[in-house]
Amino acid sequence: MRLWVYWLVGFVLASAPLAGCHKSVSFNPAFATHFFPLSAGLTWTYEVTYPNGARERIRDRVVKAGSPGTSRDAALVVSDYSGHGTRAVRADLPAAYPAETTEVETHYLLDGGYITRIASLGGPTRIRLEERGFLPQYLRPDQGWSNSLSPFADSMGDILKIAQSHRTFLEAEEVVVPAGRFSGCIRIETEALYQSPAEISDKRYYTDWYAFNVGLVKTLVLSGGQHGRETARIELLRFAKSELTAQLQPSNRRSIVPLSSKAATRSLTAGPLTGR
């Protein structure tokens, strides 16, 4: 899953898409709903690494699978965040910004063929983040879309606007992270323009990799252009199918691409959002 911290990392730091190698690979459209699982009990643990060596941990767990179509029946993901990484880079962040440990609730719902995510950050002053057009309902290669958001508009004034353009690819190479080696991933490259009321702007470039039946396994954040400086890296450490499920063993961590499956951007094996 692309994490709520994805926005905040961009606000505090930066990002960019990396061109993959161009081996000949094929994609079965029936797989599209399996790259963003949202079944109740699924749990992901990520590590965010910064160039200065600071690290953060994020643990996402699906507490409600939800039903397609309405915010009332939206899937609910709770994220536990811990670490000092962003504060090690920016000590002047507002008090409401996540401190050493915090919890974030994120709802995912379908809206016009796209997934909307609405996150609520805890703290003395709760911050509500809403992103429409977060992902298409059906995730496959060769898609392109744009969206925009003002992540802190309700809680801190209109201090930041983000315009994003996205493009999807079928990754030809294995994606290797601490959780294992994943093949047949969908790669999403995003160019984001951050604009403040003072007309100070900055560009970020993000690359996200989604694995079949697992979800987000890796994100690279770059600044200064497509070949810019890496400012953050998010990697999957562990993935479990329920609170009682042990983490994947090395022998079965590889993403297996079957001959048939579902379809949807950020959807799940059980497809709680009919394909998130």
Each residue's pLDDT expressed in tens, for the chain with a length of 276 residues: 555 454 444 544 433 333 333 455 688 888 898 999 999 999 999 999 999 888 999 999 999 986 654 555 689 999 998 876 554 444 444 444 445 557 889 999 988 889 999 988 765 556 778 899 999 989 999 999 999 988 665 545 557 788 999 999 999 999 999 999 999 999 999 999 988 777 667 889 999 999 999 999 999 999 977 788 999 999 999 999 875 433 333 333 333 222 222 222 222 222 333 333
Sequence-ordered alpha helix ranges (H) in the chain? 5-12, 85-89, 153-156
**What local confidence, expressed as pLDDT, does residue 14 receive?**
35
Cβ neighbour number for residue 170 with a 10 Å cutoff: 17
> For position 104, what pLDDT does the model report?
87
- Encode 203-226: b = buried (16+ Cβ within 10 Å), e = exposed: bbbbbbbbbbbbbbbbbbbbbeee
- The predicted pLDDT at position 85 comes to 54
pLDDT per residue as tens digits for the range 221-253: 999 777 889 999 999 999 998 754 333 333 333
Q: What pLDDT does residue 224 have?
A: 76
Structure confidence by residue, pLDDT tens digits, 182-191: 999 999 999 9
Q: Does the pTM exceed 0.85?
A: no
Please give the pLDDT value at position 120. Answer: 82
Locate 67 and state its tokens.
């039903």
Predicted local distance difference test score (pLDDT) of residue 141? 96
pLDDT, position 112 = 87
pLDDT of residue 82: 83
Q: What whole-number distance in Å separates Cα of residue 116 and Cα of residue 276?
A: 10
Domains of the chain: 5-252 (2.40.360.20)
Which of 18, 130, 4 shows the shortest CA–CA distance to 56?
Answer: 4
